[in-house]
Structure 1
Amino acid sequence: MLLLKPEPTRRAKEIFQEACCIENMEAKFGRTLSKDEDSVRRFILTQSPILGRIPFIDEIRKEFNKFQKEKVDAILNKLHQVDAIHLDNDKTNIVAAYPFSGSETSHQVYLNRKGFKRVYAMCSIDALGMSFMFNCDVSIESLCIHCGEKIEIEIRDNEIFVLNPKNTVVWYDMEYSCCAATSVCKHTNFFSSEKHYEDWQKGKPIKKGNLLPIQEAFYLGKLFFENRLDN
């Protein structure tokens, strides 16, 4: 029986610490937000798996109808500024509320909790982190970004129970710019093997990042998302 635990390596901890320095992780965890700002952040994150999508802005305004529309919009703009969410150019839709994507991606996640629907993750690390964020079993269906082979991961009790292909690895991109949604998330993906990553990388400019075994990537997902709803 396959049982893979998150592997707390020094490298994964260093990657997380560097991300904390580059990104506004304290805000993403809600620690530097006002009570009202954090209430909106938490509503978006907790409603996304119930709806199977990120809430629409009108739904958020309705939930917080005790606030003036202008206040809700100001809070959403603040969450966008600190990269807790990412709004589209017109600021009429939320396109990312990490770990959730507002559109289809190659990372489909099924959270095994009553009332939850399939969601799309922004990247492979976000997909792996959802089991810790919601403390429930998770099924992930994704693709090798090089060959398109289906990748299946089953997580039970925060351990990987099924991994197909068994040599699946994760490229974690660290070329952050502007916001995670438009930079690192686009390039953080699963590969069916280390060789497929090497084949994919041939002829491309060398990028800043790390190729991670699945257990190390799993631990990184834990660091990013385990306490996302705790404060």
Structure 2
Amino acid sequence: MNFRDELTFEHYDKERLLMPSIASRLTEEENAFRHKMIEYIVSNHQPYTPEGDEVALAKRIDDKKNVLVVEEDGKIYDIYPVTSEEMPHKVTLADGRVAYAMCAIDALGCTYTFDQDIVVDSVCSNSGTPIHIEVKDKKIVSHSPEDIRVLNADLQNSEVWAEDCCCGMLYFRSQKDFDEYAEKNDLCPDCTFCLSLEEAFSVARMLFSDNE
């Protein structure tokens, strides 16, 4: 049984949040290239520059949307779930490398992309309170604060995640902090979701678990 069949979200119809994995939208060749770029970016903290036949392959993946973005200089700075730029969402992999994620969901998804235990360090986007999450064997084993909430965008209704969603998917130390942020920033309740940490982890699994 597909794990998606058993998912539930306390305040939302799960059909609004169900997503296919990124890997499922790519060919075997495209997925291999995607992982090559991810490994390079994380190991070097530099954008990846496609060369030779890779240029056309990167363009082909870019045309499929919501996997990577080829910038005007031909380089790839961002490829889900990582970025070559330092961001507030820091992910420490079990092998000791540090990755930076574009959003709160991407940070959690690194455990699936790299098939490793991870530690996520970020901040509450309302209060600045540190957020700390530890994932082992694909399970959240500890986190602080206790009542973390995650702002998730409506990915189903966004054509270009990099423009519409990425930097807006954030951590909050509590429901109160989320509510205050939503009011201050006039968030649309019909196109955003306030998820528990476990619910957000399920969304990350949907997006970044290649074989499910």
Task: Give the TM interval when normalised to the shorter protein.
Answer: 0.7 to 0.9
Are the equivalent residues in 1 in contact too, given 2:41–2:84 (CA < 8 A)?
Answer: no
SS of alignment partner, residue 161 of structure 2: coil
Partner residue in 1 for 2:23:
29
Deviations 1:54-74 (A, max 9, x none): 6521xx43xxxxxxx2x3211
Query: Which of the numbers 199, 209, 219 marks the counterpart of 2:202?
Result: 219
- Does residue 9 in structure 1 map to residue 8 in structure 2? yes
Deviations 1:206-227 (A, max 9, x none): 4211100111111111111111
Larger Rg: 1
Partner residue in 1 for 2:48:
56
2:173 aligned partner, one-letter code:
S
Q: TM-score of the superposition, structure 1-length normalised?
A: 0.77
Partner residue in 2 for 1:156:
136
2:94 aligned partner, one-letter code:
N
Query: Which of the numbers 61, 68, 79 marks the counterpart of 1:85?
Result: 68
Partner residue in 1 for 2:151:
171
Are the equivalent residues in 2 in contact too, given 1:52–1:119 (CA < 8 A)?
Answer: no
Partner residue in 1 for 2:177:
196
Q: TM-score of the superposition, structure 2-length normalised?
A: 0.83
Partner residue in 2 for 1:185:
166
SS of alignment partner, residue 87 of structure 2: coil
The change in CA–CA distance for 1:132 and 1:191 in structure 2 (over 3 A counts) is same
Q: CA deviation at 1:103?
A: 1.3
Partner residue in 1 for 2:110:
130
What is the aligned-residue RMSD (CA, Å)?
Answer: 2.4
The change in CA–CA distance for 1:136 and 1:164 in structure 2 (over 3 A counts) is same
The change in CA–CA distance for 1:91 and 1:80 in structure 2 (over 3 A counts) is farther
Partner residue in 1 for 2:3:
none
Query: Which of the numbers 35, 40, 44 marks the counterpart of 1:42?
Result: 35
Give me the identity figure in percent: 24
The number of equivalent residue pairs is: 201
